[in-house]
Amino acid sequence: MLRQVLHRGLRTCFSRLGHFIASHPVFFASAPVLISILLGASFSRYQVEESVEHLLAPQHSLAKIERNLVNSLFPVNRSKHRLYSDLQTPGRYGRVIVTSFQKANMLDQYHTDLILKLHAAVTKIQVPRPGFNYTFAHICILNNDKTCIVDDIVHVLEELKNARATNRTNFAITYPITRPT
């Protein structure tokens, strides 16, 4: 009994709905298209947030306050060029951190030579692609002379190696600029 009443009621409702849709085909054909266009157009104002810091760190987090403190106490001179190793925010760049197993001095002759050999090996890397071989010079940051910018620590290590080669003992490393004396 109940099943028959439900069946008759649902059949009547769906029959009326089908008749209504069939009598207004333009509305039911164009309404989904218009709604899709309106919802799709809202994505044109959508901006992807690429800053991991903005997404994950609170507005007044301790990490942001400490970074601002470090930036104010240890300013980096970016007037000549902008080197990725000077950046303190994440980005698309690579960095190699070299440490010693025995916690030795990284500025001694052995480690200085190893670091300079590693730098030379990185700058000689080639990536063969069909029709072209990419080298370090193709992806590095160029300065005004159209040569690759090299991190200041590499220049310091080269000066230190030259000082050792000429038996200079009065070589001093100072922050932020090291000049041979």
Same domain, 154 and 78: yes
**pLDDT on residue 12:** 94
| Structural domain boundaries, residue 120 | 52-166
Q: In the chain, how many domains are there?
A: 2
- Tokens, residue 126: 């080639």
Residues 41 and 56 in one domain: no
What was the pLDDT predicted at 120? 92
Do 32 and 94 fall into the same domain? Answer: no
**123: in domain:** yes
Buried b (16+ CB within 10 A) or exposed e, 157-178: bebbeebeeeeeeebeeeeeeb
Is the residue at 179 inside a domain?
A: no
> Looking at the structure, do residues 149 and 76 belong to the same domain, yes or no?
yes
Residue-level pLDDT at 70: 79
pLDDT number for residue 92: 55
0.85 surpassed by pTM? no
Residues 151, 74 share a domain: yes
| 40 and 121 fall within a common domain | no
Contact partners, residue 133, CB within 8 Å, separation at least 6: 126, 127
Q: Does 84 reside within a domain?
A: yes
Chunked mean pLDDT (size 10), the chain, 181 residues: 90 93 90 90 80 77 81 64 52 72 83 91 88 84 78 84 83 64 56
Same domain? For 72 and 18 the reply is no
| 1 and 84, same domain (yes or no) | no
Give the pLDDT score at 10.
Answer: 92
Is 128 found in the same domain as 74? yes
Q: Identify the pLDDT of residue 7.
A: 92
In a domain, 173, yes or no: no
